[in-house]
Structure 1
């Protein structure tokens, strides 16, 4: 198989190989953005940190379709786009948000380092789990979206005890037998999901532009969309169980 891949790649033109490798560079830029986000977090510029994490999220959404269109796996077989994507995703989805959650003062001081360690350990294990996605592309368990979790912790600014409890629950749910919708890959209700995702992006930009100082309308809207993402599959399964 490796020899076949090498032969397929050797038939590609230099321009095709360069274009394919540029996709890997594009993906790797997410790691550079994660470093900038971490520097902003160290300075406690939280809105700027989330802005950079949002830019990394855009890269993560675009690199896969571009890679498939350019047939990167065949043209550049010596470089694993899957491994590269997981490395970048870990630092943007887990590591930088874990630092922000731990260092922000949102958690109980005695619990913060332990919960931060729990985030990075379970996040690393989740990214190594070959069963992280179900056959219908739903995530299994809480999908280590700690960038989103951190965003909501900063938005809601709950008492430290409640924030600590929320983080502990999400850590426990990482490998729980629940399904969470993938906003792009799940076919069921995709139109609704993408529309809500677009609305979420607009509301999130409003939050960051105002440094998390927003009214109830924006907060309730963001929480409602989060509830849809987390609970929509469970609600649909429950309704179907009553109808059978």
Structure 2
């Protein structure tokens, strides 16, 4: 084996060295495929299937960063930006598809549904472009455009349309407010409690899907309470 081969410059080992990191990018990009399948489900008002595909995309987003670090993707494949890829996929799954569902489902009053939807996608696009969207201790600054979760809650809670609209409008405003929103995996403060809350939230979310988005009042409002915890627990910590 030549020196170039040992450094990955040879045709064989060098190419093999790049295969697994590139597959991590492919894995991340599969989230876009999930977004398309979710959008097709939303177009036929199959909300459960839509949320299942969004959940698969969320799972991909939850582990692709770990895989990228494990296989040194940024170091081995500097040509492809994992951050850019992640933002493209996240915008479709966290914002665009859920907002399409929000507009077409009748959860909001007809007169304000489209204006609110436009406000969501515009503010979310600006939020995703913010290089300082996270604090030094890994909280999100402002409401972090988690519209997939918000719309999921609205489908489960079935609030009166104007209350749902007011909730959406408030979150649009909070996008650029000095609110610290928890990242349950990356914030060390109260990690055990945060992971327990995430486990409860995930279990209730699965139950909601199994029950066709009608889990009953107790499960629905417990689910909402955990969501409010994630949204507000950062207020109890010191700012960076």
Q: Structure 2 length normalisation: TM-score?
A: 0.93
Q: Quote the residue 1:152 is aligned against.
A: 153
Q: Quote the residue 1:227 is aligned against.
A: 228
Specify whether residues 186 and 75 from structure 1 end up closer, same or farther in structure 2 by C-alpha distance, changes over 3 A only.
same
What CA distance in whole angstroms lies between the structure 2 residues aligned with 1:143 and 1:41?
23
The superposition leaves residues 53-103 of structure 1 with CA deviations (integer Å, 9 ceiling, x where unpaired) of 000000001100000010000111100000000000000000001101111
The superposition leaves residues 143-202 of structure 1 with CA deviations (integer Å, 9 ceiling, x where unpaired) of 000000001111111111111111111111101011000011111111111121111111
Once the two structures are TM-superposed, the CA of residue 219 in structure 1 deviates from its matched residue by 1.3
The residue correspondences of 1:1-244 to structure 2 (distance < 5 A) are: 10=9, 13-237=14-238
What CA distance in whole angstroms lies between the structure 1 residues aligned with 2:184 and 2:123?
22
What CA distance in whole angstroms lies between the structure 1 residues aligned with 2:174 and 2:8?
42
What CA distance in whole angstroms lies between the structure 1 residues aligned with 2:222 and 2:166?
23
Output the aligned Cα RMSD: 1.5
What CA distance in whole angstroms lies between the structure 1 residues aligned with 2:213 and 2:34?
21
Aligned to 2:185, the other structure's residue is in SS state: coil
Whether the 8 Å contact between 1:9 and 1:76 is mirrored in structure 2 is no
Once the two structures are TM-superposed, the CA of residue 212 in structure 1 deviates from its matched residue by 1.4
Aligned to 2:45, the other structure's residue is in SS state: coil
Whether the 8 Å contact between 2:8 and 2:15 is mirrored in structure 1 is no
Whether the 8 Å contact between 1:137 and 1:182 is mirrored in structure 2 is yes
What CA distance in whole angstroms lies between the structure 2 residues aligned with 1:52 and 1:161?
28
Q: Quote the residue 2:4 is aligned against.
A: none
Whether the 8 Å contact between 1:9 and 1:75 is mirrored in structure 2 is no
What CA distance in whole angstroms lies between the structure 2 residues aligned with 1:10 and 1:72?
16
Where do 5+ consecutive residues of structure 2 fail to align?
Answer: 1-6
Once the two structures are TM-superposed, the CA of residue 223 in structure 1 deviates from its matched residue by 1.5
Once the two structures are TM-superposed, the CA of residue 128 in structure 1 deviates from its matched residue by 0.2
What CA distance in whole angstroms lies between the structure 2 residues aligned with 1:104 and 1:225?
24
Where do 5+ consecutive residues of structure 1 fail to align?
Answer: 1-7, 239-244
Once the two structures are TM-superposed, the CA of residue 9 in structure 1 deviates from its matched residue by 6.9
Q: Which moved more, 1:207-216 or 1:47-56?
A: 207-216
Whether the 8 Å contact between 2:35 and 2:97 is mirrored in structure 1 is yes
Aligned to 1:91, the other structure's residue is in SS state: helix
Aligned to 1:111, the other structure's residue is in SS state: helix
Q: Structure 1 length normalisation: TM-score?
A: 0.91
Count of aligned pairs between the two proteins: 231
